[in-house]
Amino acid sequence: MEEIKKPLLQIDALCGGYKSFNLQQIGFALDKGDFAGIIGPNGSGKSTLVKMLLGDLKRSSGKMLLEGKELSAMPVRQKAQTIAVVTQHIEDTSMSVLEYVLLGRLPYRELFQFFEKREDVAKAEKYMELTGILKYRDQPLSSLSGGERQLAAMARALTQEPKLLLLDEPTSQLDICHQVQVLDLVRELNCELGLTVLMIIHDLNLASSYCNKLLLLNGGKLHTQGAPEEVLQFSIIEEVYKTVVVTRPNPVTGRPTVFLVPRHQIDKLKKERK
């Protein structure tokens, strides 16, 4: 019998959320090595979905399977060895960058282990090198800029050596240089380490450039999912975002690119047609 390849993460009919807002019947699957983006307007449920995956928020029904095992039944420690997250808000702390990154080894700590092992420090340094923050090793995290802190958080998440990396808007506070730097890094990890990535991202064009799979949320429902070419069609985007857009392939990469059309330009066009 042929062995059926199980997806890394499988979400089935996931429901739940807050009193005034609910996710409804979310279902998707990620294979190992996927680089998936969650897109959608503000308040569409992107963060709620990630919180539910992390267990910060309880679902009311549905299934969340990681390698066939139910996520919510997994002990926190084991979960931290499988899923790592970089949240938007990174706490302002006086601990040094190395101490901060080393916290990523906590899920692997033994009960009576008091000091980190040599290999833990080696791993932390390896990922700090990879994210380019090794030079700040002994500086307090609070002295770093927003972009550098984002990279430190990434290094910490990688130090957890997870199978699935969750990113909550990793580029929201960065200029384009750092945006590309961060996402290039994530892509490199995705390709070379086979790390599966699921990220919330607002910028549709960045999503299109980097992701192989997009999940478009709208009002707590999964509106469309698939390759960027399938999801980033002007009719779908206009319907969900209630904005007039034009999509064209990027002249270099060929990936679909979304162009905004401001209201006054539309009015102008309408007038000319008359």
Partner 1 sequence: MKVFKLYRVGFLVLLLVLLVAVSVWSLLSGDINISWKQLPYVLQHADSMEYSVLMNLRVPRLLLAFAVGASLSLSGVILQGIYRNPLVEPFTLGISGGASLGVALMIVLGTAFSLGGLLLPVAGFAGAFITIFLVYVLGMGKSAANINRMLLTGVMISFVCSSLLMFLLSISTAEDMHNIIFWTMGSLEQPDGRLIRLMLFGSIGVFLLTHLFAHALNALRLGEDEAIHLGINVKLTIRVLFVLASLLTGLCVSIAGIIGFVGLVIPHVMRKAVGSDYRILLSASFLGGGLFLIVCDVLARTLIAPNELPVGVLTGITGGVLFIILLSRKGSAWKK
Q: H helices of 56-201, where? A: 76-82, 97-102, 118-131, 146-159, 176-192
* Interface mask toward partner 1 for 40-79; x: CB under 8 A: --------------xxx-------------------xxxx
Q: Does 109 bind partner 1 (CB under 8 A)?
A: yes
Which of 10, 47, 87, 225 binds partner 1 (CB under 8 A)? It is: 87
Q: Quick one: 197 or 222, whose CB is closer to partner 1?
A: 197
CA–CA separation, 106 and 160 (whole Å): 8
Q: Give whichever of 61 and 113 is closer to partner 1, judged by the CB atom.
A: 113
Report how many residues bind partner 1 under the rule CB under 8 A: 35
Torsion sign across C-alpha atoms 130, 132, 137, 141: negative
Report the C-alpha gap between 30 and 82 in whole angstroms.
14
Query: Is 7 a binder of partner 1 (CB under 8 A)?
Result: no
Extract the tokens encoding 69: 């095992």
Instruction: Select from 7, 40, 45, 104 the one that contacts partner 1 (CB under 8 A).
Output: 104
Say if residues 210 and 35 touch (Cβ distance below 8 Å): yes
Q: Is 80 in the site for partner 1 (CB under 8 A)?
A: yes
Residues forming the site for partner 1 (CB under 8 A): 54-56, 76-81, 83-85, 87, 91-96, 98-99, 102-104, 106-107, 109, 111-112, 114-116, 118, 121, 160
